[in-house]
Amino acid sequence: MIKAIITDIEGTTSSLSFVKDVLFPYARAKLPAFVEAHQQDAQLQVLLDDAAKLMGGEPDIQTLIIQFVNWIDEDKKITPLKSLQGLIWEAGYQQGDFKGHVYADAVEALQAWKAQGLALYVYSSGSVQAQKLLFAHTEYGDLTPLFSGYFDTHVGGKREQLSYQRIADEIALPADSLLFLSDIQEELDAAKACGYQTVCLNRDGAELPLSAHPQVSRFTINYTDMISR
């Protein structure tokens, strides 16, 4: 019996284009000025120190900025970068530069599942802060009350089985009572190997060949319809 649902964001609850065409370019454009303006802030200093450790040595601020931008261009899933992007996006949301995109069918289903007593969680490569910002600033209002918790790369990579075990341990539920939703087969494979139920979101309707995961093109209100396919 499913007791909790963990969902990805990009390509699952939210469009890939919002992240790739809105959020990423915004962070890239604002990053140099943001880092220079806030480099003395304690929160940012921690991220800069973490990035410097990954680079080795003691890079100056301009070298760090260049490295952050390169990581964005290379689509690296690096924790200090994701946290820095979250800070930049927070400013953008607060200034009303954009709203978080969430599919209408995802909102409807998440609300219905919450009403049924299911616990809902998010697991994304974006930082927990970025996840909360997206769901707090949607055209449907603040959706964060729907979720019981958030996970990012601090628990591990999304294609690693151990990450899903850590999530199950933190939620304190057996893996086979958890349903994971994603559009990435390798992530679903890792979750399934841990014992999760899994469903692949293929919003373009093009099913993955030889997939071991039920596939749907949209969220459904009855989650059992998803896992029975």
CATH code (residue 207): 3.40.50.1000
- 172 and 208 both lie in a single domain: yes
Sign of the torsion angle spanned by Cα atoms 108, 218, 151, 67? negative
Q: What are 55-98's pLDDT values in tens digits?
A: 998 999 999 999 999 999 998 989 899 899 999 999 999 999 99
As a whole number of angstroms, the distance between CA 71 and CA 49 comes to 16
CB 186 within 8 A of CB 12: no
Same domain (yes/no): 112, 130: yes
Q: What is the pLDDT of residue 44?
A: 95
Tell me how crowded residue 42 is: count the other CB atoms within 10 A of its CB.
6
Pick the last residue of a domain from 65, 94, 123. Answer: 94
Q: pLDDT tens digits for 87-121?
A: 999 999 999 999 999 999 999 999 999 999 999 99
- Could you read off the pLDDT tens digit of each residue along the chain, which spans 229 residues? 999 999 999 999 999 899 889 999 999 999 999 999 999 999 999 999 999 999 998 999 999 999 999 999 998 989 899 899 999 999 999 999 999 999 999 999 999 999 999 999 999 988 898 899 999 999 999 999 999 999 998 999 999 999 999 999 999 999 999 999 999 999 999 999 999 999 999 987 766 676 789 999 999 889 888 887 6
Q: Return the DSSP state at 19.
A: I
**Domain check: are 106 and 57 in the same one?**
no
Q: H or E segment at 47?
A: helix 42-55
How many domains is the chain partitioned into structurally? 2
Q: Are residues 110 and 49 in the same domain?
A: no
Residue 25 lies in domain: 19-94
Nearest to 141 by CA among 191, 116, 181, 107: 107
Adjacency order of strands within the sheet including 215-216? 149-151, 119-123, 4-7, 178-182, 197-201, 215-216
pTM: 0.84
Please list, residue by residue across 163-181, b when 16 or more beta carbons sit within 10 angstroms of its beta carbon and e when fewer do. bbbbbbeebeeebeebbbb
Residues 86 and 154 in one domain: no
| Identity of the amino acid at 163 | S
CA–CA gap between residue 116 and residue 179 (Å, rounded)? 15
Residues 133, 89, single domain; the answer is no
Is the domain of 156 the same as that of 141?
yes
> Does residue 27 share a domain with residue 138?
no
